[in-house]
Structure 1
Amino acid sequence: MRVLVVQNYDNTGLGQVGAALAEAGAELDLRRPYLGDPLPQLANGHDAMVVLGGGQNALDDNDYPYFPALLELTRDFAGKDRSVLGICLGGQLVARAFGAENHIGGAVEFGWCGVSLTTEAKADPVLGALPEKFPIFQWHDDTFDLPEEAVRLAGNDAAQNQAFRIGRAVYGFQFHFEADRPLVRDWSASFASLIAERHPDWAGKLDDEMARNGPDADAAGLAIARAWVATI
């Protein structure tokens, strides 16, 4: 199992997705196109692709000129029935790849927030075993419409479209289910100044929030990660 991992920003990581891939014995091919790494032109050399998050928006082709090629690659993976996972920015890019509109701003969430599954999610192979409602880590300002062919799987008041599936195994997630407590603590340190500008109370409440929401969020995130890896 060879999995292409597209990292779009410094200090982002696979978190629980990485743990699930390691359990499955996956070989990872990490590319950082924002630093100049080339992307494959086709999906032929990989069994699946993970597209991670980032601080930029999904329409920022001027500063991230590889975005159009990444959209083409996403469509090639889907056309060859190979699993795709987009998280946060990655999910927004998956939505864009299939013709949906991205909305910049107006959907701000940060910290552990609740999401609710749709009726359709009950039969979904990745989300079907999860509770109807659960807390999960969020960090985004933007949102997106659903592609026409997508099945909506989760939402909340801040962002109606929190998770969707296209075809058999192309998934887009707005929420950071990969971010378990160690990764959130790492982000809280690595991006401390950025977080403090917009959420000045975060450092003081991190431990309490982590204790309250972390166990359930981590359990949900790892279940999602393992179920997606099982689609490969």
Structure 2
Amino acid sequence: MSAARVLVVEHENGTGPAQVGERLTARGLDLDLCRPWAGDPLPATLDAYDGLLILGGSMGPYDEAEAPWLPEAIGLLRQAVARDLPTLGICLGMELLTVACGGTVGHSEHPEVGLGELTPLLPATRDELFAPLADLDEPVHAVQWHWEETSVPPEGAVPLLTSRRCAHQAYRVGTAVWGVQFHPEVLAGHIATWGTSDDAPLRALGLDPPSVVRRVAREDAHLRGVWGAFAERWGTVVETRRTASVRH
């Protein structure tokens, strides 16, 4: 049997799949990286894929003038939800999923940037991706980098994680479609350039960009372990669903 194939949508240079992509590739999954910002056309359907990974970007989900492919990405997410195809939307990817499913995205009252603590909610204890996080004896941290967020989740979405500043950090639609507002894919080295490019916005929030990166660096081992394992669990979902589909 050939390898499971995942469509990866990258919205902006420097926002690739990073450690999530590394973990999936190490598992043997075939990643088809599509860069519409560089002129790559998005596929019209998901017929050729076993999973969908939608990454982040500095634009918002309604910024079609800046990123004219966003409606197509939303269309792919609607297809994924209709098929219950294993899907992971990260940051902008979650915001696009929210819009695709009828929810609302708005500007964050308190933008989250840098290392942030996440709190698992009760449904997370029964979720195949998030249950191991709910069982951890230590706080769960992740990299945050967003000025927008889901204000009204899609109807029927199952809430999984929250944080002090952002109520909707992760949710599931159906049985295999997840959105996360944080960045499980990045470590300090990945966000170093973000700190430079977003210097003025970070300082407007009262943050020192180099200090933000250093704080993430101190938790790199935690981030690598927790979110690397998370990526592998998602890869297992993709592979398991594909195997079940082939059998039928």
* Fold shared by both chains (TM-score > 0.5): yes
Amino acid of the structure 1 residue aligned with 2:196 = A
Q: Given the alignment, which residue of 150, 157, 169 partners 2:164?
A: 157
CA contact (8 A) 1:107 1:140 kept: no
Q: Specify the alignment match of 1:218 in structure 2.
A: 224
Please give the per-residue CA displacement for 1:200-232, whole angstroms capped at 9, x wherever unaligned: 523146335422x32222222112111111111
Instruction: For 1:67-82, list aligned pairs within 5 A.
Output: 67-82=70-85
Q: 2 CA distance for matches of 1:205 and 1:83?
A: 32
Are residues 1:117 and 2:120 paired? Answer: yes
The DSSP-based 3-state class of the residue aligned with 1:104 is strand
C-alpha distance 108-12 of structure 1, shift in aligned 2 (>3 A): same
Q: Specify the alignment match of 2:14 in structure 1.
A: 11
Amino acid of the structure 2 residue aligned with 1:165 = R
Q: 2 CA distance for matches of 1:155 and 1:190?
A: 24
Consecutive unaligned residues in structure 2, runs of 5 or more: 239-248
Q: 1 CA distance for matches of 2:211 and 2:75?
A: 43
The DSSP-based 3-state class of the residue aligned with 1:90 is helix
CA contact (8 A) 1:179 1:221 kept: no
Q: 2 CA distance for matches of 1:110 and 1:102?
A: 18
The DSSP-based 3-state class of the residue aligned with 2:15 is coil
Q: What is the CA RMSD across the aligned residues, in angstroms?
A: 1.7
Q: 1 CA distance for matches of 2:37 and 2:68?
A: 9
Are residues 1:188 and 2:192 paired? Answer: yes
1:35 Cα deviation from its structure 2 partner:
2.4
Please give the per-residue CA displacement for 1:87-134, whole angstroms capped at 9, x wherever unaligned: 000111111110000102424011111010000000100010112741
CA contact (8 A) 2:25 2:31 kept: no
Amino acid of the structure 2 residue aligned with 1:203 = P
C-alpha distance 72-205 of structure 1, shift in aligned 2 (>3 A): closer
CA contact (8 A) 2:36 2:69 kept: yes
1:58 Cα deviation from its structure 2 partner:
1.0
CA contact (8 A) 1:152 1:164 kept: yes
After TM superposition, the structure 1 stretch with the greater mean CA deviation from structure 2, 121-130 or 191-200, is 191-200
The DSSP-based 3-state class of the residue aligned with 2:124 is helix
Q: 2 CA distance for matches of 1:147 and 1:46?
A: 24
CA contact (8 A) 1:53 1:90 kept: yes
Q: Given the alignment, which residue of 19, 26, 30 partners 1:27?
A: 30
Q: 1 CA distance for matches of 2:118 and 2:194?
A: 26
Instruction: For 1:50-129, list aligned pairs within 5 A.
Output: 50-129=53-132
Q: 2 CA distance for matches of 1:32 and 1:179?
A: 18
The DSSP-based 3-state class of the residue aligned with 2:131 is coil
1:81 Cα deviation from its structure 2 partner:
2.6
C-alpha distance 19-96 of structure 1, shift in aligned 2 (>3 A): same
Please give the per-residue CA displacement for 1:56-76, whole angstroms capped at 9, x wherever unaligned: 111112222211111111111
Are residues 1:46 and 2:52 paired? Answer: no
* TM-score for the superposition, normalised by structure 2: 0.86
Amino acid of the structure 2 residue aligned with 1:36 = G
Q: Given the alignment, which residue of 148, 151, 160 partners 2:155?
A: 148
* TM-score for the superposition, normalised by structure 1: 0.92
